[in-house]
């Protein structure tokens, strides 16, 4: 009876060690979605809204800043104009609007706050679609 429990424990430990090794190897930083702390979630707080395609900047400088913990940035691409789809997820997670600049035909911009955390939210027109940027400086 103890043998299956030991095998399961060893297998679980191997998976955890493999995950830690992958994380430490820097594989995350080489991937297309390097900028997401928790892939599949908005700001690590809630699932992606329907129609959102997560993306990260291709810039080596931005990649280095995120890896160093100097900045945090997530991007989402929509095929239609959905300026508040990601914003709603952040507000549902406890962020409040500090300032809002209405859509000027180029972008819709909001500064959000939650405790000491401040986040800049930009929904940019991309033809008929939307590119949403969520960025901030990590709170320490």
CA distances to 1, 57, 71 from 60, rounded to whole Å, are 53, 8, 13
pLDDT tens over the chain, length 140 residues: 567 666 566 566 666 655 555 455 566 667 889 999 888 999 999 999 999 999 999 999 999 999 999 999 999 999 999 999 999 999 999 999 999 999 999 999 999 999 999 999 999 999 999 999 999 998 87
Q: What is the pTM of this model?
A: 0.78
Q: How far apart are CA 73 and CA 29, in angstroms?
A: 13
Backbone angles phi, psi at 133, to 5 degrees: -115, 130
Q: Would you give the DSSP letter of residue 62?
A: H
Q: How far apart are CA 126 and CA 58, in angstroms?
A: 17
What is the maximum alpha-carbon separation in the chain?
68
pLDDT digits (tens, 9 = 90+) for 29-60: 678 899 998 889 999 999 999 999 999 999 99
- CB-based contacts of 26, cutoff 8 Å, min separation 6: none
CB–CB of 107/125 below 8 Å? yes
């Amino acid at each position: 009876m103890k043998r299956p429990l030991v095998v399961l424990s060893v297998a679980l430990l191997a998976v955890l060690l493999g995950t830690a090794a992958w994380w430490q190897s820097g594989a995350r930083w080489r991937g297309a979605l390097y900028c997401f702390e928790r892939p599949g979630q908005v700001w690590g707080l809630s699932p992606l809204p329907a129609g959102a395609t997560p993306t990260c900047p291709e810039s080596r400088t931005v990649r280095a800043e995120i890896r160093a913990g100097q900045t945090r940035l997530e991007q989402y691409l929509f095929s239609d104009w959905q300026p508040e789809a990601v914003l709603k997820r952040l507000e549902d997670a406890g962020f409040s609007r500090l300032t809002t600049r209405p859509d000027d035909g180029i972008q819709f911009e909001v500064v959000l706050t939650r405790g000491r955390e401040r986040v800049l939210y930009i929904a940019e027109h991309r033809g008929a679609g939307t590119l949403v940027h969520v960025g901030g400086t990590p709170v320490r």
